[in-house]
Structure 1
Amino acid sequence: MFLYIMSIASLVIQAVFLTLAIAAGLYYLAELVEEYTVMAKSVITWAVIATALVHVGLIVFEDIPISLNILGLVQQVLHGTLMKDFPVVRVQSIPFIVAVITLILHHYMALNYFGTVLYSFSEVLAYFTICLWIVPFALFVSLSANDYVLPTTGERQPLLNDDNVVTDYLYRKSKRYSLLSFFTLAKDSILPQRSKKGF
């Protein structure tokens, strides 16, 4: 009984460490995307092309239903459309909304198929990771780069009156809703800050 309680406690500790590791990784990726938007666009574009090629390979070499792979190819076309304006990702645009709907539909169809046909866990995880999660995850992380597209966030300019409408709007809007700002806020509120000693 005592060993059972220890196993539950260890699972909780492992879950906490895994959550912290994922949060730290997301924070680091969001910073990288904000610093290197051109490279991020290139990496995500190549991920879209590679995922489309994986779907073609599944059509040729595997007996996975063609409807799953056609839906996956449609998703990659939509992702490619979103990459035209990168790092700007307009969440109200038709390609973005259709991409989210097809992602949900693709998950539903894949879960139905893999629930009825026997595949190993690693094969199912490989399909979901490469065909469903890589590109949407990269686009999700890159949403924070959208905040730094020109015009930049509103800085108080000494030549303009502080009541300037554009400056006030950009100042209020700046960095509140990005992934990086969320992790920065979490880091500042959870982790203690060291005070630097002045000698």
Structure 2
Amino acid sequence: MWILPLVGYLGVIVGFVFLTLAIASGLYYLSELVEEHTVLARRLLSRLIYGIITVQILLVIFDRFPLFLSLLSVVSHLVYASNLRRFPIVKLSDPLFILSCLLVGINHWLWFRHFSKPLPSSRRTENNWRQPYQVDYDEMPSFSEVASYFGLCVWLVPFALFVSLSAGENVLPSMGSEYATGDHVPPTGLGHSRGPSDGKAKNKGMAKALVDNVRDWARENGELMGLWRGERTRRF
């Protein structure tokens, strides 16, 4: 067979492209929702963080999860919660934000190592001298359980923060944005500070900014390579 493998490779490429576009569209839509409902988003994120901490404590008590890794996960989620102080504004040079990014990678690596290790021998296998290296498959977590744990307890909160928070470099000067930009809002001629009603200052989420930058990069490179024409050439 010669044509069918080529069709298979083409299908994988097309599926990957559609999956990437679907993820980008979802991030853009979620960023729009957070921009419109910041108070509700902060409340949901706070409850989500403390809910995951509760789940982590229950896993230690009932499923005998490792105490050190569970404690690290709890502390990491408390650090994630500290980024909600000035929600949705975040300063990329903030030590807590940088620490949060490091904790995401550390938690992923340590938990991946934990689930990759072979299970210790249970009491039933220790007493069985004929098969001392037999694995107890009843106590081994399934792929769906491990994937669900990573999705809910390791990746969900950092992903939600990435979608919800707005980078300080993309914030226009407005009331309360001095923390993100590091500048002072200049007073107007009437002697009061310029507020949000004086201009259309709107925060831009990090996920939305990432999608916009990738889209602009693809459009500019496409125009340079002649794949499509820009708006100026269309007018003439």
- TM-score range (shorter-chain normalised) is 0.7 to 0.9
Task: Kindly indicate whether residue 156 of structure 2 is the aligned counterpart of residue 127 of structure 1.
Answer: no
- In structure 2, stretches of 5+ residues that fail to align are 119-139, 182-187, 223-227, 231-236
User: One-letter code of the match for 1:18?
Assistant: L
Greater relative contact order (Cα 8 A, min sep 6): structure 1 or 2?
1
Contact 1:175–1:181 (CA<8 Å) still a contact in 2?
Answer: no
TM-score by length of 2: 0.64
**How many residue pairs were aligned?**
177
Alignment RMSD, CA only?
A: 3.2
Corresponding residue for residue 196 of structure 1: none
Q: Select the structure that is richer in helix.
A: 1
Secondary structure at 2:87 match in 1: coil
Q: Decide whether aligned partners of structure 1 residues 38 and 74 sit closer, same or farther in structure 2, where only a CA change above 3 A counts.
A: same
Contact 1:48–1:80 (CA<8 Å) still a contact in 2?
Answer: yes
Corresponding residue for residue 211 of structure 2: 183
TM-score by length of 1: 0.75
Structure of greater Rg? 2
Instruction: Tell me by how many angstroms 1:103 deviates.
Output: 1.8
Q: 2:174 aligns with which of 145, 150, 156?
A: 150
Secondary structure at 1:63 match in 2: coil
Instruction: Tell me by how many angstroms 1:71 deviates.
Output: 0.7
Corresponding residue for residue 82 of structure 2: 81
Corresponding residue for residue 100 of structure 1: 101
Contact 2:35–2:203 (CA<8 Å) still a contact in 1?
Answer: no
Instruction: Tell me the percent identity.
Output: 33
User: One-letter code of the match for 1:127?
Assistant: Y
Instruction: Tell me by how many angstroms 1:23 deviates.
Output: 0.5
Corresponding residue for residue 5 of structure 1: 6
Instruction: Tell me by how many angstroms 1:177 deviates.
Output: 8.4
Q: 1:139 aligns with which of 153, 161, 166?
A: 161
Instruction: Tell me by how many angstroms 1:63 deviates.
Output: 2.7
**CA-to-aligned-CA distance 1:122-169 (integer Å, 9 cap, x gap):** 11111111111111011111223763783379xxxxx98xxxxx9xxx
Q: Decide whether aligned partners of structure 1 residues 100 and 178 sit closer, same or farther in structure 2, where only a CA change above 3 A counts.
A: closer
Instruction: Tell me by how many angstroms 1:27 deviates.
Output: 0.5
Contact 1:48–1:135 (CA<8 Å) still a contact in 2?
Answer: yes
Contact 1:37–1:145 (CA<8 Å) still a contact in 2?
Answer: no
Instruction: Tell me by how many angstroms 1:187 deviates.
Output: 5.2
Contact 2:31–2:163 (CA<8 Å) still a contact in 1?
Answer: yes
**CA-to-aligned-CA distance 1:67-95 (integer Å, 9 cap, x gap):** 22111100111112111221122222222
Corresponding residue for residue 112 of structure 1: 113
Instruction: Tell me by how many angstroms 1:100 deviates.
Output: 1.9
Contact 1:144–1:178 (CA<8 Å) still a contact in 2?
Answer: yes
CA distance in 2, matches of 1:45, 1:31: 19
